[in-house]
Structure 1
Amino acid sequence: MNVEQKNALRQLQYGPSVKIAIRFKEPWWTTKLNIVGGQSFTDLPIRTIVYPSHGVGTDTPSTVLIASYCWTTDAERLGSLAMAGQNEVLKELVLCNLASAHGDPITYEFLCNQFLDMHVKDWTYDVQTMGAFAQFGPGDFQDVYTSLTYPAANKRLHFAGEAISTRHAWVVGALDSAWRAVYEYLSVTKQDDKMERFKELWGKNVEWTSPSVQPQYDQSGQPLLSDLLYEHFGLIEAAIGVGEIKY
């Protein structure tokens, strides 16, 4: 591992994020307001409200609402109440915010009557993550990100994870990064048979496709996986038709 990669691992920060889920007696957002799925945004402390769509139109609709989804300083403020054991204070704050965000007929008293249970997930205090997702600062995409998107230990150590993706903080980013790591490993080890199987199973990946290369197609009209390992800042390229990564 070179100096740039060691510094990148130390420098990259993971940001705080909190989700507060509340289970109600009924899915009032659908029965009262006809809301199915989607999100609402507010400048109130709860910031983002996420409505479920699972089970809508059935006898068992979800009655759990993500009453608050927030990150950075907003998450730290709500998380501090949970960590301090101030669940009743947090409950009152969230229900008041929900009532204010939705308006009549959703009142604080109505929500208190509907309330069954509340669960707070604070990734900062999760011992498995110690933070929610990668939080890149100014210049980090140019320095930190690019240092981790190529292998270490003479191409034997390949990094993968949501942090090593332009779509970090999402599961799709982790999958994109995993695709790149596997493709990269099969390329440098020249495992052509496994590479063909990998292409059949997983196809190509939008994040790692070079926009500068004219796409090629096979006889069936399917795009060829020829120059798919493309690093956005020019540090990594795949040699077209060779399957060997050049550095």
Structure 2
Amino acid sequence: MQEEDDVKLPSRRALLAMIGQVAGGATMYQAMSSMGYAAESDYRGPVKLSNAKPGSTVLVLGAGLAGMTAAYELRAAGYKVRILEFNRRAGGRNWSLRGGDRYTELGGATQTVSFAKGNYINPGPWRIPYHHHAVLDYCRRLGVALEPFIQVNYNAYLHNTQAFGGKPQRFRHVQTDLQGHVAELLAKATNQGGLDQAVTKEDRERLLEGLKAWGTLDKEYRYVASSATSDKRGYEIDPGGGLMPLAKPSQPLGLNDILSSGMWAQVNAGNLYEFQSAIFEPVGGMDQIGKAFERELKPLIQYGAKVTKIEQSASKVTVTWVDADKGGAARQASADWCVCTIPLSILSQIDVQVGEPMRDAIAAVPYGASVKVGLEFKRRFWEQDELIYGGVTQTNLPIRNISYPSTGFFSKGPGVLLGCYAFDNVHAFRLTAMSPEERVQAALDMGAQIHPQYKQEFKTGVSVAWNRVPFINGCYGRWTDALREQHYKNLCAIDGRIVLAGEHASYIPAWMEGAILSALDAIQRLHAKAQAA
């Protein structure tokens, strides 16, 4: 028999790839952490611009986070800045809807939000990952208070209409049982010599011990009902005190049942980099970030300005605009330079005087669809009846997600949850085609399959379909690798005196971090050009 050290072994990369194929990303990351290969990205810090030339001026188009970031930093460098904003508020997609707000979508349907005082829904961004350093840095600098956002709640539900008789399953049950069954399979393969040609003896021993702990396997490497497994998935009868009934371990779900349900994929959502703890949200609504920027920049902002034309010459940029609500006579604003953060879905409809490469790039990027529905209920039944405090329930129904508020725990009176978040799929387009009231009713009907209390406890609701939002006509720039290869650099390049910024000009589309980083990069390059001019 050939000695183990003489056997030609694949690299550990091959082993990790095999684990990933068999057990999924979560197991592979566990193995990577054990072997010391998991790493985090570096933080590059805030932008630092030198003093601008005296009298230099900049027009910023759009008072979303990208536009206000650009304006904030350029003003600090000494530029005279003016912002043109389509809406009567700042923030763009950084937006919250509260009681008393009115919102009119394309087509004319108007909703008046009737949530109780203090309740709100975030139609756009609703969470900030811990590694979105730029957003967190501006929250610190602008004094925006943050609180934890609960992404993964082990007591929330996973739901598939075709599995377990349509009955929702607790996240902790599916997640724990999946890990246990997969760990048992890998342990069997290791013990039976199935990995003999893949790893050293020491690696096998370490892997077996890791699988035993990770999958809560017994001494024979089996995943079976026990106190240890119940310590992860929960007990059928919880431990008590005095002469209360003895604790009773819960019975794991079968591996075949989990795999056929498709819930194993739902479990892994919380392992995505953007959703790993810690995650944050501003106290009082996501729009607190936009409002903080607005407090700093309000004197610079011209609200209700609908841009109709962008021209440039060798010495300046001239923007033509009209009143967004009333129309009327055209007005113009000019500056030495222009930072344009208007979404490409809108910019592609405007006469923009840039070269063909940038024009082609502006026209090339489609926008994804998204629908959110906020539902207010008479009481927080998800807490009182089901012990769900924050987190997200996932379902194969068109509503896709139910997100429970991560704030106001145990409070009395009405509570608001996110009753639908359909993102960039056929369901989002179908919901978009409905009226606002029909979307709310659909969210109620579907959510009742998970929470029977819905119909009895419902109070009011509001819906936002992003393809019908007037200032963007979509949710986010939907790049593909092929589109980026052809157009991305042309989109981000400075064209004469104009540079574009926004989440569409980033590799983090649909996130506030992408918008802010794009703006910081754009103004640094524009500033360098202005200084050299």
Match of 2:417 among 44, 62, 65: 65
Deviation digits for residues 105-142 of structure 1 (CA, Å, limit 9, x no counterpart): x31xx211110111110111111111111112351121
- How far has the Cα of 1:169 moved from its partner? 0.8
Which residue in the other structure is 1:97 paired with? 446
Question: In the superposition, relative to structure 1, how do residues 146 and 39 fare at CA in structure 2: closer, same or farther (>3 Å)?
Answer: farther
- How far has the Cα of 1:29 moved from its partner? 2.1
Deviation digits for residues 212-234 of structure 1 (CA, Å, limit 9, x no counterpart): xxxxxxxxxxxxxxxxxxxxxxx
- How far has the Cα of 1:19 moved from its partner? 0.5
Distance in 1 of aligned mates of 2:459 and 2:386: 20
Which residue in the other structure is 1:223 paired with? none
- How far has the Cα of 1:92 moved from its partner? 4.3
TM-score, with normalisation over the residues of structure 1? 0.65
- How far has the Cα of 1:25 moved from its partner? 0.9
Q: Please list every run of 5 or more consecutive structure 2 residues that lacks an aligned counterpart in the other structure.
A: 1-353
Determine if contact 1:55/1:61 at 8 Å carries over to the other structure. Answer: no
Which residue in the other structure is 2:389 paired with? 36
Say which SS state the counterpart of residue 422 (structure 2) adopts: strand
Distance in 2 of aligned mates of 1:35 and 1:158: 46
Identity of aligned residues (%): 26
Match of 2:470 among 127, 152, 167: 127
1:14 aligns with 2:367: yes
Which residue in the other structure is 2:377 paired with? 24
Q: Please list every run of 5 or more consecutive structure 1 residues that lacks an aligned counterpart in the other structure.
A: 192-247
- How far has the Cα of 1:185 moved from its partner? 1.9
* Matching of residues 101-180 of structure 1 within 5 Å: 102=450, 106-107=451-452, 110-153=453-496, 156-180=497-521
Distance in 2 of aligned mates of 1:166 and 1:147: 14
Determine if contact 2:448/2:455 at 8 Å carries over to the other structure. Answer: no
Determine if contact 1:56/1:62 at 8 Å carries over to the other structure. Answer: no
Matched residue type, 1:177: S
Distance in 2 of aligned mates of 1:172 and 1:60: 35
- How far has the Cα of 1:187 moved from its partner? 2.3
Say which SS state the counterpart of residue 408 (structure 2) adopts: coil
Deviation digits for residues 164-218 of structure 1 (CA, Å, limit 9, x no counterpart): 1111111221111111112222222338xxxxxxxxxxxxxxxxxxxxxxxxxxx
Matched residue type, 2:457: Q
Say which SS state the counterpart of residue 30 (structure 1) adopts: helix
Distance in 1 of aligned mates of 2:519 and 2:412: 36
Distance in 2 of aligned mates of 1:18 and 1:91: 11
Matched residue type, 1:145: Y
TM-score, with normalisation over the residues of structure 2? 0.32
Which residue in the other structure is 2:62 paired with? none
Deviation digits for residues 39-74 of structure 1 (CA, Å, limit 9, x no counterpart): 2221111112222112225x4687111110113321
Determine if contact 1:54/1:61 at 8 Å carries over to the other structure. Answer: no
Match of 1:52 among 399, 405, 425: 405
Determine if contact 1:15/1:135 at 8 Å carries over to the other structure. Answer: yes
124-133 vs 35-44, greater mean Cα deviation: 35-44
Say which SS state the counterpart of residue 405 (structure 2) adopts: coil
Matched residue type, 1:13: P
Determine if contact 1:17/1:69 at 8 Å carries over to the other structure. Answer: yes
Matched residue type, 1:131: G
* Matching of residues 193-204 of structure 1 within 5 Å: none
Matched residue type, 2:482: G
